[in-house]
Amino acid sequence: MRFQQGVTLIELLITLSIIVVSLTLATPSFQQLFAQYHCTLAINQLVDALAFARDTAITRQIPTSICPTQNGQNCSANWSHGYMVFVHEANNNTPKPETILALFPGVPESASLSNSRTIITLQTNGQAPGSNSTFYYQTQSSNLNVKATVILNMLGRVAIEKID
């Protein structure tokens, strides 16, 4: 009696078909998982930047600002491209190169980060005068829906609300 070693072509094709169907069904959930991961990463980075700006203002006893930037040198209006923390000099919303403390990269192209304010200044006591500042993160894909909100209150404290 002969013993068969290996697999037949039909067994191999059936196995490959099962793998392909499984991967096809799993791909959308992996996309959602990656979108949630990118959201968490972007929100944590924003919270770190806000905390850094607040800590710097308190420890150095000098107003510190955070604003969106595209080139790492000047403030812009789009938070999605990145943002920077700098020492805020009196009546000057344009940072000098020597006053820039940190640069933070933007969010992935498949997402957006927005805020109605283009500059946020934290005072020497850590407070952000004016009103609460709300950041909105959202994926821009029609089949993925990941949203989060970061609120910086007037005391300089941060609250996060993640909406999946």
Which CATH number fits the domain that encloses residue 82? 3.55.40.10
Domain-embedded: residue 114: yes
Q: Residue 65 forms beta bridges with which residues?
A: 86, 121
Tokens representing 57? 């203002």
Domain-embedded: residue 53: yes
pLDDT score for 100: 92
Domain-embedded: residue 146: yes
Place of tokens 């934290």: 122
Domain-embedded: residue 14: no
Tokens representing 67? 């604003």
Domain ranges, residue 122: 27-163
What average pLDDT does the segment 73-102 reach?
88
What average pLDDT does the segment 69-96 reach?
88
Domain-embedded: residue 17: no
Q: Give the model confidence (pLDDT) of 14-44 as tens digits.
A: 999 999 888 877 777 778 888 888 999 999 9
Element (H, E) at 28: helix 9-60
117 closest CA partner among 50, 58, 52: 50
Domain-embedded: residue 87: yes
Q: Which residues contact 4 (CB under 8 A, 6 or more apart)?
A: none
Q: Give the model confidence (pLDDT) of 42-71 as tens digits.
A: 999 999 999 999 999 999 999 999 999 999
159 closest CA partner among 135, 139, 128, 142: 135
What average pLDDT does the segment 113-126 reach?
93
Domain-embedded: residue 69: yes
Strand order in the sheet with 147-152: 111-114, 133-139, 147-152, 158-163
Instruction: Kindly report the pTM of this predicted structure.
Output: 0.81
Domain-embedded: residue 5: no
> pLDDT tier at 1 (50, 70, 90 boundaries)?
low
Number of domains in the chain: 1
What average pLDDT does the segment 74-87 reach?
94
